Structure formats: C-alpha cells, structure tokens
Amino acid sequence: MKIILASASARRKQLLKEAGYKFKVVPSRVDEAGFPTENIRPVEYAKQLALAKANDVAGKYPDSIVIGADTVVDYEGKIIGKPADAEDAERITRMLFSRPHKVITGIAIVCKSREIKIIVAETTVVYPRRLTDSQIAEHIKSGVWRDKAGAYAIQENNDPFVDHIEGSMTNVMGLPMELLKHFFHTIL
C-alpha cells in the first residue's frame, strides 16, 4: 500500500522518514480558516481538521493510505493556533510560557478503496520554563514561531524553553509516532 502524508510539514516528514516509512507528500488544500474554533473542544477541532486534510487528499488517491494531521495547543480549554504576526506570537508566547498547557495532535488515516477511516488524537502536557523578556524578544526576532501552533516548536528532549513533558515527545513535534505505528500495524 502506498502511504501519503497530506501535509507540507517538514517535521512530520522527518518523523515518518526516521521511522523508516516509505511515503509520498501531497499537501492538502484545506483552508484551516474555514474551521471556527469557537464552541468546540480542542481535541475535537484537531481531529476534525486532520480528517478534512486526509479526505481532501484521499479523494485523489483512493487506493493509498493517507495520513492527515493537525496540531493545536490547548491553553485552559482555549484553542491556540498559529500566530497571525509577530505581535500575536509575543502574546501567545507570554501566555503559554507562564504555565502548563496541552499540545494535541489529531490524526486521520484514510483509505477510500479499503473503507478505512481512523480518527484519533494524542495529548501531551508541556511544562514550560519561565522566559525572560529578552528570551521572548529573541524568540520573536528569530521568526521560528511562524506557522507553528502555539508560536513555538519543541526541538528535542533538551529544549531550552521546556522544563519537562508528560506524554509523547513526537506528538509535540507534530506527529505522535507511537500512536501512528499502532494503527499502521493493524492496517498495513
């Protein structure tokens, strides 16, 4: 079976490659702005978007296993997505690095011809380090917050912004590999 990653995320591509999967990248054309964040639980929002992305690509590749994913940050029940600009990134950074928050990745695995539709989500709690004003300013200046849910991307186990996590590190990186491997073993 051909595997398709319905995402342009370099991190997701890297995680799949490191796990030894052979796959093709076909980014979905789903407009995330069309999915309102009000009156929906963060986990349901992430799953809804992941399924929309997987279905978009699976429609063109019905015989392939298509993986759609979406990562959001849950701060006290509120969905924190990607920052709109540097000012928004600073606001988000100050908020998230003041107390623990959750990173949720929704995954949808779809194969139209085999009638496979799996929709799951993984949640990891991130315990941040308190950042100084100069660290925040440097973070915003670096631009690494662009196109990142929560305005940051955890690097590895020794991330300078994170004290510790409870849950999957690869989930915080954008694709919970343990969960994905579990479902791949049942369908591949």
Instruction: Write down the pLDDT at residue 89.
Output: 94
3-187 has which CATH code? 3.90.950.10
Q: Where are the alpha helices (DSSP H) in the chain?
A: 10-18, 42-58, 86-96, 133-142, 169-173, 177-187
Instruction: Write down the pLDDT at residue 62.
Output: 97
Instruction: Write down the pLDDT at residue 57.
Output: 98
Active site residue 31: no
Instruction: Write down the pLDDT at residue 88.
Output: 95
Instruction: Write down the pLDDT at residue 105.
Output: 96
- Mean pLDDT, the chain, integer: 92
Instruction: Write down the pLDDT at residue 125.
Output: 97
Instruction: Write down the pLDDT at residue 158.
Output: 64
User: What is the mean predicted confidence (pLDDT) over 119-132?
Assistant: 94
Cβ atoms of 70 and 106 closer than 8 Å: yes
Instruction: Write down the pLDDT at residue 155.
Output: 62
Instruction: Write down the pLDDT at residue 156.
Output: 58
CA dist 30 and 163 (Å) reads 34
**Residue reference for tokens 């491997």:** 181
User: What is the mean predicted confidence (pLDDT) over 63-90?
Assistant: 94
Give the pTM: 0.91
13 confidence band (pLDDT: 50, 70, 90): very high
CA dist 110 and 3 (Å) reads 10
Q: What is the DSSP letter of 144?
A: T
pLDDT digits (tens, 9 = 90+) for 15-57: 999 999 999 999 999 998 899 998 999 999 999 999 999 999 9
CA dist 48 and 9 (Å) reads 18
Q: State residue 134 phi and psi, 5-degree precision.
A: -70, -35
Q: What is the DSSP string of 71-99?
A: EEEEETTEEE---SSHHHHHHHHHHHTTS
Instruction: Write down the pLDDT at residue 81.
Output: 82
pLDDT digits (tens, 9 = 90+) for 136-170: 999 999 998 998 888 888 765 567 788 899 999 99
CA dist 112 and 62 (Å) reads 5
Catalytic annotation, pick one of 70, 74, 85, 88: 70
Q: What is the DSSP string of 99-112?
A: S-EEEEEEEEEEET
Q: Which has more pLDDT, 126 or 1?
A: 126
Instruction: Write down the pLDDT at residue 1.
Output: 76
